[in-house]
């Protein structure tokens, strides 16, 4: 049986990853400091024979014995990562050093949950992994973008210096059940607003684009990367290349919820990327992976989750 550590395991993606690993028979150690994660996300795993939870901050050393590490610990939404930006950089950078040190000692394989934010406000569209990005090093998003870029550097330097089996995935906007209802991300905001008949807040003119991946597809891609043959290190884009403007997204959510909400335009946040869409050619070739769940179908499941939250 494989002993797998998931840092950030009580978060949105981490909790789905724990579910998927347990379902295939792994022994899962979930580490989280509950900064943005929630107990409810892993409550259903309490008492599971192969699941263990440890409350711990990855900016401090961690000594455990494991075979694989998925490093997801990091606040992910702009509202959350800008709340304490110094802690965000510490989590990305010191957290990566500690988890890489742990992987080095235990000879574990380690995967980094990086992000499409490493491309910044991209001048190349769609974004292939070979694109180096256009990132502001001193803006309000920099704690996250540069923290994640530095973490990638550390993964590749540990590999070059210590010949370690590392893997890097660049995750594009992902949505689904267990997203934090108040994390300010566009999908959760629009759904919460629509369900409570409040105005839908579109930042800027709403013509900026994102490409949204349903959580189950994302988790399948992440596990496929961990399981891929040793020489394939990445970075590899994991996301859904179907691109939508925020206006289109708002329209879909209003239609599905049958909300009477009006659209309200608000100022665009600083350094908000204008467009984002993954080039997933590499994932298709190396991982034989591609997303299968269309936005309409994924939104239906996500809306159902938020409806249940409201009535719970
Ligand atoms: P999330 O906020 O739900 O999960 C992050 C988890 O990390 C939370 O449970 C939080 O409590 C925990 N955490 C934060 N700082 C920690 C620390 N110092 N020590 C231990 N735990 C800590 O966010 P998510 O959407 O599940 O994102 C998970 C990972 O995927 C993050 O690394 C994020 O950068 C990356 N990612 C997510 C997306 C997305 O669209 N969801 C996109 C790109 C990258
Ligand atoms: N570390 C850890 N768990 C381990 C091994 C190391 O948390 O099982 C931390 C350790 O605190 C160190 C970091 O990982 O600060 C980097 O470890 P590495 O061995 O690369 O560096 P060194 O210990 O030589 O500074
Ligand atoms: N956005 C919006 N209204 C909201 C929340 C977000 O128009 O209530 C926009 C935001 O400005 C950005 C896009 O939606 O252009 C995606 O934002 P999110 O925070 O979900 O992700 P990220 O910007 O990190 O991709």
CA-nearest of 186, 212, 183 to 200 is 186
DSSP state of 138: S
What's the confidence (pLDDT) of residue 311?
Answer: 85
What's the confidence (pLDDT) of residue 310?
Answer: 86
* HEC string for 273-287: CCCCCECCHHHHHHH
Give me ligand 1 centre to Cα 179, in Å.
11
Confidence of residue 271 (pLDDT cuts 50, 70, 90): confident
What's the confidence (pLDDT) of residue 62?
Answer: 98
Mean pLDDT value across the chain: 97
Average pLDDT over every residue of 62-72? 98
Nearest CA to ligand 1 atom 44: 115
Give me ligand 3 centre to Cα 200, in Å.
12
144 catalytic? Reply is yes
3-state secondary structure of 102: helix
Q: Are 103 and 41 in contact (CB under 8 A)?
A: no
Catalytic residue of the set 144, 158, 175, 214: 144
Tokens of 198: 């409040």
What's the confidence (pLDDT) of residue 54?
Answer: 98
Average pLDDT over every residue of 147-156? 98
Q: Which atom of ligand 1 is nearest to the CA of 174?
A: 40
Nearest CA to ligand 2 atom 11: 61
Average pLDDT over every residue of 36-45? 96
CA-nearest of 61, 144, 150, 116 to 240 is 116
Confidence of residue 245 (pLDDT cuts 50, 70, 90): very high
208 lines ligand 3 (CB under 6 A): yes
189 lines ligand 3 (CB under 6 A): yes
Tens digit of each residue's pLDDT (9 = 90 or more) over 167-215: 999 999 999 999 999 989 999 999 999 999 999 999 999 999 999 999 9
> CA–CA separation, 42 vs 44, rounded Å?
5
What's the confidence (pLDDT) of residue 274?
Answer: 92
Indicate whether 312 pLDDT > 80: no
Q: Are 34 and 5 in contact (CB under 8 A)?
A: no
Give me ligand 3 centre to Cα 175, in Å.
12
Tokens of 287: 């991982």
> Ligand 2 pocket: which residues have CB below 6 Å?
61-63, 97-98, 101-102, 104-105
What's the confidence (pLDDT) of residue 66?
Answer: 98
Tokens of 175: 């949505």
Average pLDDT over every residue of 107-112? 98
- Which residue's structure tokens are 């996500």? 302
261 lines ligand 3 (CB under 6 A): no
pTM for this entry: 0.97
Give me ligand 3 centre to Cα 273, in Å.
9
Interhelix angle 12-23/215-227, nearest 10 degrees: 60
Question: What element of type H or E holds 98?
Answer: helix 85-106
- Residue 218, judged by CB atoms within 10 A of its CB (0-12, 13-18, 19+), counts as buried
Average pLDDT over every residue of 132-137? 96
| Residues recorded for the chain | 312
């Amino acid at each position: 049986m494989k002993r797998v550590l998931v840092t950030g395991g009580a978060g949105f993606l981490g909790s789905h990853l724990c579910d998927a690993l347990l379902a295939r028979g792994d022994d899962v150690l979930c580490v989280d400091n509950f900064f943005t994660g929630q107990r409810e996300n892993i409550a259903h795993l309490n008492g599971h024979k192969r699941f263990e939870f440890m409350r711990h901050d990855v900016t401090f050393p961690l000594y455990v014995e494991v075979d694989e590490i998925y490093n997801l610990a990091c606040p992910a939404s702009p509202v959350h990562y800008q709340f304490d930006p110094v802690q965000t950089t510490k989590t990305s950078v010191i957290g990566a050093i500690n988890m890489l040190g742990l992987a080095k000692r235990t000879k574990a394989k380690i995967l980094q949950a990086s992000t499409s934010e490493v491309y910044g406000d991209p001048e190349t569209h769609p974004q292939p992994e070979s694109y180096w990005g256009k990132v502001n090093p001193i803006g309000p998003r920099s704690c996250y973008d540069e923290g994640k870029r530095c973490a990638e550097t550390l993964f590749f330097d540990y590999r070059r210096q210590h010949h370690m089996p590392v893997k890097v995935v660049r995750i594009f906007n992902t949505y689904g059940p267990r997203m934090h209802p108040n994390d300010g991300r566009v999908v959760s905001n629009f759904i919460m607003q629509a369900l409570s008949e409040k105005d839908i807040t579109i930042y800027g003119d709403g013509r900026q684009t994102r490409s949204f991946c349903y959580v189950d597809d994302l988790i399948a891609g992440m596990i496929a990367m961990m399981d891929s043959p040793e020489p394939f290190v990445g970075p590899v884009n994991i996301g859904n290349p179907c691109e939508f403007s925020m206006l289109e997204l708002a329209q879909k959510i209003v239609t599905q919820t049958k909300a009477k909400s009006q659209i309200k335009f608000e100022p665009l946040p600083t350094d908000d990327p204008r467009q984002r869409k993954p080039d997933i050619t590499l994932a298709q070739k190396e991982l034989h992976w591609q997303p299968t769940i269309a936005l309409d179908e994924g939104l239906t499941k996500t809306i159902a989750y938020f409806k249940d939250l409201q009535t719970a």
